[in-house]
Amino acid sequence: MTHQNDNSGANKVWFITGTSRGFGRVWADAALKRGDKVAATARKLESIADLAEKYGTNVLTLELDVTKPNQVKTAVEQAHAHFGRLDIVLNNAGYSLVGTIEEASADDVRAMYDTNIFGALSVIQAALPLLRRQGGGHILGTSSNLGHVTLPVIGYYCSSKWAFEAIHESLAAEVKEFGIKVTIIEPGAYATEFGSQESLKFAPSLDIYKDFKEQFFGRLRGMERGDPEATPEAIFKIVDAENPPLRINLGSHNLSWTRSAYTERLAEWEAWEDVSNTAQGGAK
C-alpha cells in the first residue's frame, strides 16, 4: 500500500510515545479531538486507559517502555498493522536528570540516555522501513530550547537534547529522498508535569554545590511558563504543512535566548580566529 501524506489536516494517523502526561497527553488528546487516529503509548497502560474509554476505535493504547527495543519494534508494527499506516511518528518520552556534572553517576547518565536518546532511536529505526514502504511520513521529536543552550545542574539533560538535535538533523538529510519529513520540536518552559517527581531523577547531592543549586532552583521557580494547552494548534500547523520546518520553537522566549547564545559564540570564535587559523598549518 502506498500512501502519500495528505496535507488537508484530516484523518492523520499518529504514533506517540510518552502519552501518560505532559505534552504527549495534550497532543494525543488534541489529535483525537480533531478526528485523527492515535496509537498512544505509555509505560503503564492504566495511565492512558481513559483515552480508550473516551475515543473508542480512534485510539489504540499500547504499553511501551522505550528502553526495550524489541517492545518498541512490536508496538510500532502493531500500530501500523492496526491502522494500515502511520503518518506521524512522535517521540515524546523523556525525563531530566538533576545534578551537577560532578554529582551524577555514569549509570544515572546512561539510564537517561537510554530513554531520551536510545529510546527515540529504537522508535525511529522501527518506523523507517514502514514509512518507506508506504511512501512517506513525518517523524517528530520533542527536544527543547536546551538543545541549543545549556543550564547548570541539568547539564546532562541538555547534552541529551544536543545529541537528539544532531541525530534528527542527520536523519532529515538521509530520509528526504524517501518522502519522509523530520521536525524537531523545541519547547521552552511550560507548566507541564515535566517538573514532577515522575519526570525528574535526582543525583546524590554534594554539600559544596548546595548554595549554587538553591540559587539555581530559585531562578527556575521564577521563570514564566507557557500553557501546554496552547501548543496543539502549532503542532497541527507543522504536521499539516507541505514543507514543515526542520526546527520549530514552542513559546515566545526561546528565540531571544538562542540568538543571544549564538551571538556570544560567534563573537568568541571570531576573537580567537587568528589563533585558530595558525592551527591550520601549511597546505598539504
From the candidates 95, 156, 160, 161, give the one annotated as an active-site residue.
161
Alpha carbons within 13 A on the beta-carbon side of 57? 2
Exposed, middle or buried by CB within 10 Å (0-12, 13-18, 19+), for 261?
middle
Please state, in angstroms and rounded to a whole number, the distance separating the CA atoms of residues 37 and 52.
11
From the candidates 20, 143, 144, 159, give the one annotated as an active-site residue.
143
Per the annotation, the verdict on 181 as an active-site residue is no
Please state, in angstroms and rounded to a whole number, the distance separating the CA atoms of residues 201 and 181.
33
Long-range contacts of 115-119 (CB under 8 A, 24+ apart): 115/66, 115/67, 116/157, 116/160, 116/161, 116/164, 117/160, 117/163, 117/164, 117/167, 118/67, 118/69, 119/17, 119/66, 119/67, 119/72, 119/91, 119/93, 119/94
Per the annotation, the verdict on 157 as an active-site residue is yes
- In single-letter form, the type of residue at position 49 comes to A
Per the annotation, the verdict on 190 as an active-site residue is no
From the candidates 144, 157, 159, 190, give the one annotated as an active-site residue.
157
| Enzyme catalytic residues | 143, 157, 161
